[in-house]
Amino acid sequence: MNTFGRIFRISIFGESHGSVVGVTIDGLPHGIKLNADDFTADLARRRAGTKGTTPRVESDIPEIATGWFNGYTTGAPLTILFRNENTKPGDYDKLKDVPRPGHSDFVAYHKFEGYNDYRGGGHFSGRLTLALVAAGVVAKKVIPEVSIVAKLIEAGGKANIDEAIEDSQKQNDSIGGIVECTATGIPIGLGEPFFDSVESVISHLAFSIPAVKSIEFGSGFTASRMRGSEHNDPIIDSSGNTATNHAGGINGGITNGNPLVFRIAVKPTSSIAKSQQTLNVKTGKTEFLTVQGRHDTCIALRVPVVAEAITAIALADLLLIERVRKNR
Amino acid sequence: MNTFGRIFRISIFGESHGSVVGVTIDGLPHGIKLNADDFTADLARRRAGTKGTTPRVESDIPEIATGWFNGYTTGAPLTILFRNENTKPGDYDKLKDVPRPGHSDFVAYHKFEGYNDYRGGGHFSGRLTLALVAAGVVAKKVIPEVSIVAKLIEAGGKANIDEAIEDSQKQNDSIGGIVECTATGIPIGLGEPFFDSVESVISHLAFSIPAVKSIEFGSGFTASRMRGSEHNDPIIDSSGNTATNHAGGINGGITNGNPLVFRIAVKPTSSIAKSQQTLNVKTGKTEFLTVQGRHDTCIALRVPVVAEAITAIALADLLLIERVRKNR
Amino acid sequence: MNTFGRIFRISIFGESHGSVVGVTIDGLPHGIKLNADDFTADLARRRAGTKGTTPRVESDIPEIATGWFNGYTTGAPLTILFRNENTKPGDYDKLKDVPRPGHSDFVAYHKFEGYNDYRGGGHFSGRLTLALVAAGVVAKKVIPEVSIVAKLIEAGGKANIDEAIEDSQKQNDSIGGIVECTATGIPIGLGEPFFDSVESVISHLAFSIPAVKSIEFGSGFTASRMRGSEHNDPIIDSSGNTATNHAGGINGGITNGNPLVFRIAVKPTSSIAKSQQTLNVKTGKTEFLTVQGRHDTCIALRVPVVAEAITAIALADLLLIERVRKNR
Amino acid sequence: MNTFGRIFRISIFGESHGSVVGVTIDGLPHGIKLNADDFTADLARRRAGTKGTTPRVESDIPEIATGWFNGYTTGAPLTILFRNENTKPGDYDKLKDVPRPGHSDFVAYHKFEGYNDYRGGGHFSGRLTLALVAAGVVAKKVIPEVSIVAKLIEAGGKANIDEAIEDSQKQNDSIGGIVECTATGIPIGLGEPFFDSVESVISHLAFSIPAVKSIEFGSGFTASRMRGSEHNDPIIDSSGNTATNHAGGINGGITNGNPLVFRIAVKPTSSIAKSQQTLNVKTGKTEFLTVQGRHDTCIALRVPVVAEAITAIALADLLLIERVRKNR
C-alpha cells in the first residue's frame, strides 16, 4: 500500500530510474506557509555526494504541483514532484536475470511475475526516501512545537564513522550503522490504543525505509535485561517529567511528555563491488556477481534525515487526531 | 484505532475489569471449520497460573457470537466474546490518583481527561491480548501452510528462565525477556511496497502488545555491525533458498521463502510489590507506592503465544491481499 | 466491509437468527454522558409491533459492554450488544434451496458458496439496522447542536399511509415508501473533497440500509429539469442563508449552513405471502413460493429512525474530522 | 479525503487553474498492457468543445509517470499526470469576494478560511473529473469481461437534447440532465456486506462528481410506488437471470448477474451569464452577478464518460476483493 496515515495521509509513487518520484499529502491543514526553499536543507542532507555515498547525484528540485496557492497550503491535496535526471538504466540490464543477494530483485521478480521495473530496484529503491523527506519537511511545519534530531551514532560497529567507511571502501565492501532519533516538545497523550501506539506507527514507517532491520524505543533490548524497579521511570512532577527515561517517552503506547527516543539499525548496503555468489534465474545456475552501478558504501549515512521525516510524519498524524479529542 | 488489517481485519474491544473482552474479524473467508475447542490450546498457553504469572486466573471461555453457522465461518463478521469473571476492581481504587511508574495510568488520565477506566489499566491492559490470541487462532486457520513457533529464549538476561524468575520474586521485583518467533512455509512475495512491508505490518502489531519495546528481524541490530559481503544471503536455488538467513526471510520488505525470524524485547512488568517513587497527581506531592493487586513477575512468559498470534494475523492479511495478484 | 467512518468509526456484526447483534464504536470522544435509557426511544421507534410491521417483536435491551465507566464514555471502543431472543430459525429451512425473489438469498448463497447463514437472511437482515440505530443514538450525542428529523412522507405511492397499508395487507402484498430526512443546526464546512462529500458519505450509509434503492438531495431528480437561474439558491446574508434551498444544504459536497434535506426510496418488502415464481436451485426447476415467516407489509415504516441514525453517524464523523482543521 | 477504494485505490489531486491534475492508482495488478493511446477515446468524450460545453479546451495529454515499464503496469503505484495549459486565472479575480450562487465558492472560503484556491473552483472543479476518467480507463482494463455504457437520456427535462441546449443558450441560462449507466457481464457476488454494498460504493463515487444530486438503482424512486409482487424479479434460471430487472442487477447490495442499471441526476451548471442575486462577503451587501469565464451550458453532456469511469472503478475494486474469496 502506497498510503499511510489517518488524517495527515501521505501517498508516494515513483521509481529509481523512471521519470518521476513524488508524494501527495492529503489532510494537510490549510494556511501553512510553504515554499520550495523550505525543502532545501533536508533534501541536501539526504542527497548523495559525500564520502561513503553514491556518485549518482540528482538535483532534487521540488515542484509543488497541487494544493498550494500564493505561498500557503490550501487544504487540498499537496503534491510534490521530483524529476529523475541522472538515470543510467543501462547499468541494470545485466541484473535482470541475476538477482543481487540481499536486494529486492528476486522477490520483486516473483511477486510481480517479471513485470517489475528492475532498473535500480524500481519502486523498491532508496530513491523513494526522497518523497519521505519531502513529506517530512511539510510534517515538521504541522508540529512546530516539536523538535526532532536524528544522528548516525555508529557505523560498521564503530563510533569513528569516517574510519569505518574508509576501511570498508578499501575492501570494496559496505557497512551498516545505527541511527538515533530524539524528539522533544511532544505533548502528553499522542498515540491511539489499541493498534496505533506511538511505537506501532513509528515502527511501521521506519520499516518502510529500505535497509532498516530493527528498532528499539528507550532502553529497548536492554530493557529486557533490567528489573522493574530499575526500568520504571519515577514521575517527579505534575507535568509528568521522569527522573530517568528508560521508556523513551512512551507509556502504554502513549507519549508521556518526556523526550521520545528510538534507535534503528541499518543493514549494510546490499550492492557491493566485491564478488558474491548468486543464482541466474534463467539458467538456474550459480553465478558470481560484481555489482556495477553507483551505490552507497554506507547507506546509513543518508538515513538520519529520513528518520526525522518519518518521525515528523507519524507525530503530525497523531497530533491532528488528538485535536479531535482535546479541542471541543 | 481499534482496527487493524486490510482484508483480514480485526477490531478489538474491552477492559481489564469491565464485563467483556472481544474481537470481531471482518474479511474472514467463508467455509473455515471452526469450533470453540480450537481455541483451548492457545488460550491455555496465554493464561496465567504458573510460576511467574499473576494469580488472577480467568476461565477464558470463548463465545463465537456471530459469523458462524453449523461449524463453519459464514463470511460475515466473526465475533468472539469473553466474559471477565475474576475481576477485583476494588484493588485499583487507590491508584486513581497515584499513577504507577512505567504504566499507562498517567498518560491515560491525561489523554482521556480523567474519564478513562483506571481499573487494571482499563483498555490498556494486557488482558486485551486475549482478543489477539483468539484472532490468532482463526488467522492460523487461514494460512494452514504456515507453521509459527515462538519461544521465550531469555528472561532477566538469563537463559535459565526458572532461576531468573525465582530470583526476581525473592526481591518483590519483576523481569523482562526476549521472545523469538519463527514462521516457516511462507510463500515468496508477501508484503506490500511501500508502506506495508512485512516488517512494517508485523512491527505495527508487535508494538500493540503491552510491554514490547523493541523488535529485530533476522540479524537485526547485529546486521548494523556486519559487512555487506557477510550479511548478504547467497541465493542457492531457484526456490530462493539462501545459504544463510541474515535477512530473516525478508528482502525489500517482501518474504523470500526462507524462514521468517524476528525477536521482540519485553520490558519487566511495571507493577511490582517493591516500593517505588511516584507522584500523587491530586496533591502534587511525591509518594512511595507498593503496587497491590495480582500481577506477573515476568509478563514475557505469556508473550510467545501472543507473538505467534500477531504473526499469523499479519501473514493472513498479507496472504489474502496477495491472492488478488496471483489468482486471476 | 463491516466498518465505516474515519474518526467516529462503527463496526457492526450479527445475524437475524443468530445469538447476537452488536456494534463497536471506535474514535468516540471520552466524557459523553450515556446510559441504557438513552436508547429506549429510538429503539422503540425502530421496533416492530404496529400495523404494517412484522409480528416478531424483540425486547432489544442494549448491553453497554465496553468503553463505558461510571456513566460516561471512556474514549476506548464502545460496544453495544443485543441478544436475539425471539428467533424461529425453523421458519427458514424451506428457503434453503428456494431463494425468495427480490431477496439476498440467491446472491448470498453464491457469494459464500453455501456457507452463509440463510436463516432470515443472516447477516443481510434488516435486523442489523438495530446496530445502526444504537450507533445513531451515540452519534446524536456527539453533535448535540444538530437536530435531525426523518418522516415517512409517502407509502405505496400515497400520502395516506394507513390506507395504503390496509389495502396492501388485504392482498397479501407489500408496499414501499419514501422517507424524508431534514437536519438543522449544521455548521458550514462539513464534508471532505474529493471523495467524501456530504452526499457521498450519507448515500454510502443510506444504501447499507436494506431495501433502499434511491436517494436525492435537495431538489434531486427535479433539479435535472430546472434552469440554473431557477435552481441556484441566492445567498441572502453573511451566515450563508439562502432564499431557497434547492441544494439541500450542500454546495460542492460541503454543508452550507442551510437545512440538510434528502429523501430515500424504500422498495416494497421482498417477503410476501402471495405466491411468486422462483427457482429451486437444487432441482433447477421453477417453483411457486408463498413466503412463510414473520414479515413487514411496509418496511419503510421502520426506516425513519434508521435514516436519522445514519445521518447522525455521517455528520458526527465529518464534524470530528473538521475539528482537526478549525481548532488549532 | 482524496483516496477511494480498498484494493484498487485511487488518489486524485489538482486544481482547475493550477499546474497539474493527476491520479495515482495503487493496488493495480501488474502485467496490464497500457499505453497513452488507450486514454484517447474516453478523454475526448469528456473534453469540451462541442455545443453546450465550455469554450475552454485543453489538450489533456496523459503522462504515465510511474508504475509503468515497457508497455505494461508493474504492480507499483501508477501515476498519470495532466498539465493544465489553457488557464485564465484572471477570469476569477472578481469572484474572490462575491461567491457564485450554487457553487462551492462560499463553502470553500469558509472551510479553508480564505486559503482555498478560488480560481475556477480550485480543487472543487469539474476539471478533476479528468483524473476520474483516466482512472476509469485503467479500471476498465482490470475488468475486461464487463461492458459499461452510459448515456445522457434527458436534458432540461427533454429527450431532444440539442433543442434543450439551444433554448437554454438563447436565455443565457443552463440546464441539467439525467445520465443512465448500464453494465453487463458482471459476475454474481460483487459487493461487500454490510457497508460496501454495490449501491453504497457506486453512489459514494457518483456523488463525488460535481453537480450530481441524486442516484437511483433499477426502478429506484418508482420502486417505492410498486407492490412487492410487482417489484420482485422472478428468477428464471440457475444463472440467476430474472424475468424483469427492477432491482437493477443488485439484491441485498450484491450483484446478481443481471445488468447493473442506475441513473444519476445532474443539476444545471451553477455558472450562468444571466444576472443573479448574491452577497459580497466583504461588504456584506447584496450584489447582482453575471458570471464571466468559460462555462458549460449543460455540464451533463460531459458526465456519461465520467459515470462509466466511476462504475469501472467501483467494480474493479469489488472484483479484486472478491478474488480473495473465490480463488483459493
Residue C53 has a pLDDT of 79
Average pLDDT (A309-327) is: 92
ipTM for the predicted complex comes to 0.97
Average pLDDT (D265-270) is: 96
| Subunits with 3+ C-beta pairs closer than 8 A to A | B, C, D
Q: How many CA atoms lie within 13 A of B246 on its CB side?
A: 24
Identify the closest residue of chain B to C28 by CA–CA distance. B1
For residues D228 and D260, the answer to whether their CB atoms sit within 8 Å is no
Tell me the pLDDT tens digit for each residue of C269-298.
998 989 999 999 889 899 998 887 667 899
Return all residues near D58 (Cβ < 8 A) that are at least 6 apart.
Answer: D47, D48, D82, D84, D85, D86, D130
> Inter-chain contact B76–C117, Cβ cutoff 8 Å?
yes
Question: Closest partner residue to A193 among C29, C76, C325, by Cβ?
Answer: C76
> Inter-chain contact B13–C79, Cβ cutoff 8 Å?
yes
C-alpha separations of D217 from A133, A143, D198, D291 in Å: 46, 46, 10, 35
Residues of B in contact with D7 (CB under 8 A): 6, 321, 324
For residues C302 and C57, the answer to whether their CB atoms sit within 8 Å is no
Question: What is the rounded CA–CA span in Å between residue D268 and residue C181?
Answer: 24
Identify the closest residue of chain D to B32 by CA–CA distance. D325
Residue C282 has a pLDDT of 87
Pairing between strand D78-83 and D20-26? antiparallel
Residue C89 has a pLDDT of 64
Q: Domain with D219 in it: what CATH number?
A: 3.60.150.10
Count of A–C CB contacts within 8 Å? 36
pLDDT over 60 (residue D285): yes
Select from A12, A26, A83, A112 the residue whose CB has the most chain D CBs within 10 Å, as the one to mutate to test that interface: A112
Average pLDDT (B90-98) is: 76
Query: Quick one: angle between helices B303-326 and B198-206, nearest 10?
Result: 150
Residue B93 has a pLDDT of 74
| Subunits with 3+ C-beta pairs closer than 8 A to C | A, B, D
Instruction: Tell me the residue length of chain A.
Output: 328
Question: What is the rounded CA–CA span in Å between residue A171 and residue A192?
Answer: 47
> Inter-chain contact D75–B325, Cβ cutoff 8 Å?
yes
Tell me the pLDDT tens digit for each residue of D296-317.
899 999 999 999 999 999 999 9
User: Which of A141-155, A261-275, C42-56, D102-116 has the weakest average pLDDT?
Assistant: C42-56
Reading the block at residue B225, the C-alpha cell is 555491525
Residue C51 has a pLDDT of 77
Identify the closest residue of chain D to C229 by CA–CA distance. D173
Residues of D in contact with B76 (CB under 8 A): 193
pLDDT over 60 (residue A57): yes
Residue D106 has a pLDDT of 95
Residues of A in contact with D12 (CB under 8 A): 77
Question: Closest partner residue to B29 among D27, D193, D328, by Cβ?
Answer: D328
Phi and psi of B150, rounded to 5°? -120, 145
Q: Bridge-partner residues for B150, per DSSP? A: B181
Residue A200 has a pLDDT of 98
pLDDT over 60 (residue A328): no
Residues of D in contact with B325 (CB under 8 A): 29-30, 75
> Inter-chain contact B18–C65, Cβ cutoff 8 Å?
yes
Residue B178 has a pLDDT of 98
Residues of D in contact with A68 (CB under 8 A): 18
Q: How far is C66 from chain B (nearest CA, A)?
A: 5
Q: SS3 of C256, please?
A: coil
Average pLDDT (D287-296) is: 82
> Inter-chain contact D325–B6, Cβ cutoff 8 Å?
no
Phi and psi of C297, rounded to 5°? -70, -40
Buried b (16+ CB within 10 A) or exposed e, A196-227: bbbbbbbbbbbbbbbbbbbbbbbbbbbbbbbb
Residues of B in contact with A237 (CB under 8 A): 279, 284
Identify the closest residue of chain B to D8 by CA–CA distance. B324
In the block, cell 528489573 appears at: A227
Q: Which domain holds residue C84?
A: 3-326
pLDDT over 60 (residue B234): yes
pLDDT over 60 (residue A252): yes
pLDDT over 70 (residue A139): yes
Q: Which residue has the higher pLDDT, D309 or A292?
A: D309
> Inter-chain contact D215–C203, Cβ cutoff 8 Å?
yes
Residues of C in contact with D197 (CB under 8 A): 207-208
Under the banding of pLDDT at 50, 70 and 90, the label for residue A85 is confident
Q: How far is B149 from chain A (nearest CA, A)?
A: 20
Reading the block at residue B291, the C-alpha cell is 503496587
Reading the block at residue C231, the C-alpha cell is 435552481
Under the banding of pLDDT at 50, 70 and 90, the label for residue A87 is confident
Average pLDDT (D138-146) is: 97
Instruction: Tell me the residue length of chain D.
Output: 328
Residues of A in contact with D79 (CB under 8 A): 13-14, 20, 22
Phi and psi of D141, rounded to 5°? -75, -20
- Give me the DSSP letters along D57-111: ------EEEESEETTEE-SSPEEEEEE--S--GGGGGGGGSSPPTTSSHHHHHHH
Q: How far is A231 from chain D (nearest CA, A)?
A: 42
Query: Quick one: angle between helices D303-326 and D198-206, nearest 10?
Result: 150
Reading the block at residue C100, the C-alpha cell is 425468495
Tell me the pLDDT tens digit for each residue of B260-281.
999 999 999 998 989 999 999 8
pLDDT over 90 (residue C188): yes
Residue D54 has a pLDDT of 77
Tell me the pLDDT tens digit for each residue of B168-212.
999 999 999 999 999 999 999 999 999 999 999 999 999 999 999
> CA torsion A119→A125→A127→A131, rounded to 10°?
120
Q: How far is C325 from chain A (nearest CA, A)?
A: 6
For residues D140 and D225, the answer to whether their CB atoms sit within 8 Å is no
Residue B96 has a pLDDT of 79
| Subunits with 3+ C-beta pairs closer than 8 A to B | A, C, D
Residues of B in contact with C63 (CB under 8 A): 19
Domain tally for chain C? Answer: 1
